[in-house]
Amino acid sequence: MEKTGATPAANAGLTATKEPTGPMNGIRRIAVEELAAYLQVSEGEESDGVAASPAEAKPAAPHAAHETLEQVLAEGPVELLRGGVAIAEVRAVRPAEPEEGEPVPVPDFLARMRAVWGDSALPQGTTAQWIREDRDGF
Amino acid sequence: MIAYLDSSFVVALYVAEGRSAAAAQVLRTMDQRPAISVLTDIEVASAVYRKGDPSRAQAAQRLYRQDRAAGVYQELELEPAIYERARLLAGGVAGRHLLRSMDLLHLAIAQHYRVAALATFDKRLAKAAESLGLEVLSAQF
């Protein structure tokens, strides 16, 4: 992803943490023993990132063989736990910058939403109202 | 033309609602990658998790993150000058349009990076943006 601005991107790689963080910090956690399951997912087993059932979508499911590590990291950093203690934080590296003039494919948003929502749709303006209520503190 | 996408516009691309088709159509017509900021990340996550059905919220958030990682959007960084600009806006347009801090930050980002347009489905932000000389996309409410 291109970043416009002066601050260099510095979120790549593996960074060990000294202090274990609390379980409610919002960061997904994976035990090191479970990491192999994520790494062993083959291309053919990858999900399309759309149709995760509620059961499948539980955070840090021990048997998340349908998810690749890349898919997990796409949602944010992950803490690796050993013996219940966070020992490292893993983040996705930033993708390569598109070449000048190189088109970035625009997703078929509607088709993807149909895969998630079927033919149902919330009333017009619902999501804008969500944002407004968030800003207004409701 | 670079357009900055307000969160009210972005969420409609990931949660099916009455304006989703319009939002997708606007995006298809853009000749440059649309811009977002980390504020968008926060607001999109907050909206879908607080208001949406849990399983669908998870899918919406995952798709948004995937698009972000794929470079569908370009990120405008929150530079220090933006906060100062937002503070100045608080004494100007904020009162006239009942804007909140997050509104001011989005407007300040758009001004700081001199984007040509703001895509939003929020009436208050749209009117404020217009008053600042920004072209507003998808303002037909």
Q: What is the pLDDT of residues A23-43, one digit of tens each?
A: 445 678 888 888 777 776 544
Highest mean pLDDT among A21-30, A78-87, B18-27, B86-95: B18-27
Q: What is the pLDDT of residues B126-140, one digit of tens each?
A: 999 999 999 999 755
Q: What is the pLDDT of residues A100-116, one digit of tens each?
A: 566 667 899 999 999 98
Among A57, A107, A113, the residue with its CB nearest the CB of B20 is A113
Q: Where are the beta strands (DSSP E) in chain B?
A: 3-5, 35-36, 74-76, 117-119, 135-137
CA distances from B137 to A58, A136, B38, B121, B126 (A): 37, 23, 21, 8, 9
Among B12, B68, B77, the residue with its CB nearest the CB of A4 is B77
Percentage of residues in chain A with pLDDT exceeding 90?
17
What ipTM was estimated for this complex?
Answer: 0.91
CA distances from B8 to B98, B123, B141 (A): 16, 10, 13
Q: Which pLDDT score, from 0 to 100, does residue A40 have?
A: 67
Q: Which pLDDT score, from 0 to 100, does residue A16 have?
A: 36
> How many Å apart are CA A9 and CA A6, to the nearest integer?
9
Q: What is the pLDDT of residues B104-115, one digit of tens each?
A: 999 999 999 999
Helix (H) or strand (E) holding B34: none
Q: List CB contacts (< 8 A) between B7 and chain A.
A: 131
Among A2, A52, A130, the residue with its CB nearest the CB of B11 is A130
What is the phi/psi pair of residue B112, to 5°? -60, -40
Percentage of residues in chain B with pLDDT exceeding 70?
98
pLDDT at A78 over 80: yes
Of all residues in chain B, the one with the smallest CA distance to A112 is B14
CB contact under 8 A, A116 and B18: no
Q: Which pLDDT score, from 0 to 100, does residue A95 have?
A: 54
Please give the average per-residue pLDDT across A108-129, as a whole number.
Answer: 92
Q: Strands A3-4 and A78-82: what pairing?
A: unpaired
In angstroms, how far is the first alpha carbon of chain A from the final one? 33
Count the domains in chain B. 1
| Structural domain of B67 | 3-137
In angstroms, how far is the first alpha carbon of chain B from the final one? 23
Q: Which pLDDT score, from 0 to 100, does residue A31 have?
A: 86
Q: What is the pLDDT of residues B67-106, one digit of tens each?
A: 999 999 999 999 999 999 999 999 888 878 889 999 999 9
Q: Is the pTM of this model over 0.90?
A: no
CATH number at residue B55: 3.40.50.1010
CB contact under 8 A, B47 and A7: no
